[in-house]
Structure 1
Amino acid sequence: MKKRIVFLTTLIFLVGIIFSGCGQSKNGSDSSWNDIKQKGEFVVGLDDSFPPMGFRDTKGNIVGFDIDMAKEAAKRMGVKVKFKPVDWDGVTLSLKNKDIDVIWNGLTITDKRKQQIAFSNVYLQNRQIIVARKDSNIKTKKDLSGKVVGLQLGSSSEIALNSDSSTKKSIKEVKKYSNNTEALLDLKEARIDAVVVDEVVGRYYASKKAGVYSILNDNFGKEDYGVGIRKNDISFKNKLNAALDSIKKDGTEKKISEKWFGQDVTSEK
């Protein structure tokens, strides 16, 4: 009886070692990068209606700043990249379930998200900026006093404005829109006086409407963008970070920025 117990205990122990090693490569690290190499590609999960980070052009192709960055990173890593639109509310679950390999779509790094997923190195800093019309006398935050300001409902812009209580109190009215496009259109038509918006979005639209919009130097704070990765995919994260670093160092990220924003918005502010 004792021999049987010892045998079963030993067997369970050996099985545990085998299964615990299934997620590791021969050098003892995780196998995530080896898995990607074997597949020959990694899958990017994104919201395909978030210009200029990731959206569909008139031909239905997925394009954008993050799309070009992901393609360049994949090329340097020696693999391909596939883009998969997902429900943004469930994007973290899609990552955990391995329906996608990364979240790459203007994803803000937050402490709350860090509890569930890992992030690449910061590749872009986004700010909550103030956009006015070119002919406007609004030049600073203080000039928003008594004005009507637009923003997207439930966005980071709304949170940022609410956190600046003195400016918020001075504003005559905060008009909330379902998307930034509507807010910027109303600004163009002088139905509102200014818009608080993500810099990546505001600069993109400003570059498309030369002479229409003015971007103030004042802003409502910054946030870091990173690529969302599963916590256990350490070797893949390290490989991706190396690619991102090289893209920044040789000026390729600057060129991609100038393509989508009309200027380099990737330098630290």
Structure 2
Amino acid sequence: MLILNILIKIIFSNIVFANVLHTRNDETTNNESDEKYIMGKGEIIIGHETNKPPMSYYDDNGMLTGFEVEFAETVSSKLGIDIIFKEIEWKRKEEELNSYIIDCVWNSLTVTEERRTIYEFTRSYINNRQVVVIRRSDASKYPDAKSLIGAKMSAGQGTTGEQALLGDPILSQSDYTPSASQNDMVIDLRNGLYDAVVIGCVLAKGFIFNDKSDLMIIDNIQLQEEQYAVGFRHGSDMVVRINDVFLDMILDGSLTTLSKKYNLYDLYSPLIITDSGYIMSKGKMIIGFQGNVPPMSYYDDDDRLIGFDVDFAKAVCHELGIEAEFKIIFWDNKDIELKNRNIDCIWNALTVTEERRSIMKFSHIYISNSQIIMIRKSDASKYTNLESLSNATLAANAGSTGEEAIKNNVYLSQGAIV
């Protein structure tokens, strides 16, 4: 009777667990937005393999660190959500992803055409290549690919390193044994179990610190190049949100700084894009403007947007071979619109100030302007100088240099500002 009760409890528990999983999957799959799912729970669960220096590893204090770890932490911080790193078995990564156990794979994941049918990839952040690593003491024995015919070689099972090795007409003639763990594989290489291994250059850098290390790369063996990206569920719209943060980190230089910290700049630098490159690659420039600000921007009788700034911007974009797209913005939010990349520039009677220089990068000055005070002609005798306006009702555009001029003037600031 006791055994029967235990069995009933086990069966019931499994049914409940299965129902919970089924309900969770129904909720997420029925909700088309993966972004809403991840942002709604306020955390992103990242699947990774541990001990993959310099990408993810535990330091001397037992803290998880590395290029990808710091990269992911920065991105999640900018998104305002928590981050959870979950150790996964590499061969089960797709299963864990599609079961919503993890939200993405962020761990030296190579972009391949086959994987594009399984994952939704972010912008690539590392330009990697597969390399052949040997013991430095064997440098004269294995100088090139031909010398490795019949040699004991290994690569990570299911990795692009394995594909590169087996797909190479010369290296495929080696005595090949797949390895379940790339870290263990390198240890086996050091211990003499293998003569050479194929591994990504990024991971090789984690084991080869300088030209005195016990391991080395055979430089004249050129294998396939590849790129690393973050893999989300296929069709995930979270990729768009992540790419926005990626782009900010590329353009502000913070990703460059991080790559240099982990000696990966040479593999990251080919993917660097400038603000110019970003705009030109889109084929258009999104220009923020206030709307009706004649003669700079306004709508004519035929409801066409014209004006000095408008025609000027169109002419420049024409010379660049890109489209000019105009977007009306709330002037007080212009800095936010620019920072969030909703617009590419503000081209609408924008005054250059020292304060704004700390926020924006200005083009060459094209108009020398001044702030003036306009009154009704009938009040000409009433308002003859600044002091006479100290009790007047004054108006200026919110966030404009006109508003700043009023606030900073000893007389005008005493008036009522609307």
- Sort the TM-score into its range (normalised by shorter chain): 0.7 to 0.9
| Matching residue within 222, 225, 237 for 1:219 | 222
Instruction: Name the CA distance, whole Å, in 2 between partners of 1:183 and 1:201.
Output: 12
- Select between 145-154 and 64-73 the one with higher mean Cα deviation: 145-154
1:98-247 mapped onto 2 (5 Å cutoff) = 98-135=100-137, 136-137=139-140, 138-145=142-149, 147-169=151-173, 171=174, 173-174=175-176, 176-188=178-190, 192-207=194-209, 210-217=212-219, 218-234=221-237, 236-247=238-249
Partner of residue 64, structure 1: 66
**Contact kept? 2:130, 2:225, Cα under 8 Å:** yes
User: Does the 8 Å contact 1:204/1:261 carry over to 2?
Assistant: no
Q: How many residues align?
A: 240
Task: List gaps (5 residues or longer) in structure 1.
Answer: 1-18, 24-29
SS at the partner of 1:266?
helix
**1:221 offset after TM fit, Å?**
0.7
For residue 70 of structure 1, report the CA deviation from its aligned partner: 0.6
The percent identity for this pair of structures is 26
Pair 1:187–1:47, CA change in 2 (3 A)? closer
Residue identity in the other structure for 1:227 = V
Per-residue CA deviations over 1:217-263 (Å, capped at 9, x if unaligned) read 323212222211133432x2111011112323333333333333465
Query: Does the CA-based 8 Å contact 1:257-1:263 persist in structure 2?
Result: yes
Deviation per CA, 1:7-26, whole angstroms, max 9, x where unpaired? xxxxxxxxxxxx9xx84xxx
Q: Deviations over 1:73-117 (max 9, x none)?
A: 122333332222234343323333333322211222233332233
CA 1:213–1:89: 2 relative to 1, 3 Å: closer
Q: Deviations over 1:128-163 (max 9, x none)?
A: 101233451244334434644343455432321111
Question: What is the rounded CA distance, in whole Å, between the counterparts of 2:41 and 2:130 in structure 1?
Answer: 38
In structure 2, distance between residues paired with 1:260 and 1:113: 27
Is the 8 Å Cα contact of residues 124 and 225 (structure 1) preserved in structure 2?
Answer: yes
Q: 1:237 to 1:158 in 2, by over 3 A?
A: closer
Which of these residues, 73, 80, 83, is aligned with residue 82 of structure 2?
A: 80
Q: Which residue of 2 aligns with 1:47?
A: 49
**Structure 1 residues 40 and 152, CA, compared in 2 at 3 Å: closer, same or farther?**
closer
Give, as a single letter, the amino acid of the residue that structure 1 aligns with 2:222: N
Q: Give RMSD over aligned pairs.
A: 3.2
Counterpart of 1:165 in 2: which secondary structure?
coil
In the alignment, what sits opposite 1:250?
A: 252
* Residues 200, 261 of structure 1: 8 Å contact kept: no
Q: C-alpha displacement at 1:190, in angstroms?
A: 5.6
1:151 partner letter: A
Q: Which has the higher contact order (CA 8 A, sep 6+)?
A: 1
When structure 1 is superposed on structure 2, of 191-200 and 173-182 the one drifting more is: 173-182
1:93 to 95, 107, 131: 95
Question: Residues 242 and 150 from structure 1, CA distance in 2 versus in 1: closer, same or farther, beyond 3 angstroms?
Answer: same
Residue aligned with 1:233, SS:
coil
| Deviation at residue 187 of structure 1 after TM alignment | 4.1
Larger Rg computed on CA atoms: 2
Counterpart residue type for residue 225 of structure 1: Y
In structure 2, how many angstroms separate the alpha carbons of the residues matched to 1:152 and 1:42? 27
Return the alpha-carbon distance in structure 1 between the equivalents of residues 193 and 96 of structure 2: 40
Q: 1:36 to 1:208 in 2, by over 3 A?
A: farther
| Structure 2: segments with no counterpart, 5+ residues | 1-26, 272-418
TM-score between the two structures when normalised by the length of structure 2: 0.49
Note closer, same or farther for the CA distance 1:259–1:139 as it changes in structure 2 (3 Å cut). Answer: farther
The verdict on how the C-alpha distance between 1:57 and 1:209 changes in structure 2, with shifts beyond 3 A counting, is: farther
Change (3 A) 1:37 1:153: closer
**One-letter code aligned to 1:114:** R
Q: Is the 8 A contact 1:74 1:81 kept in 2?
A: yes
1:46-89 CA-partner distances (Å, limit 9, x unpaired): 23344443344454433222211111212233333222223434
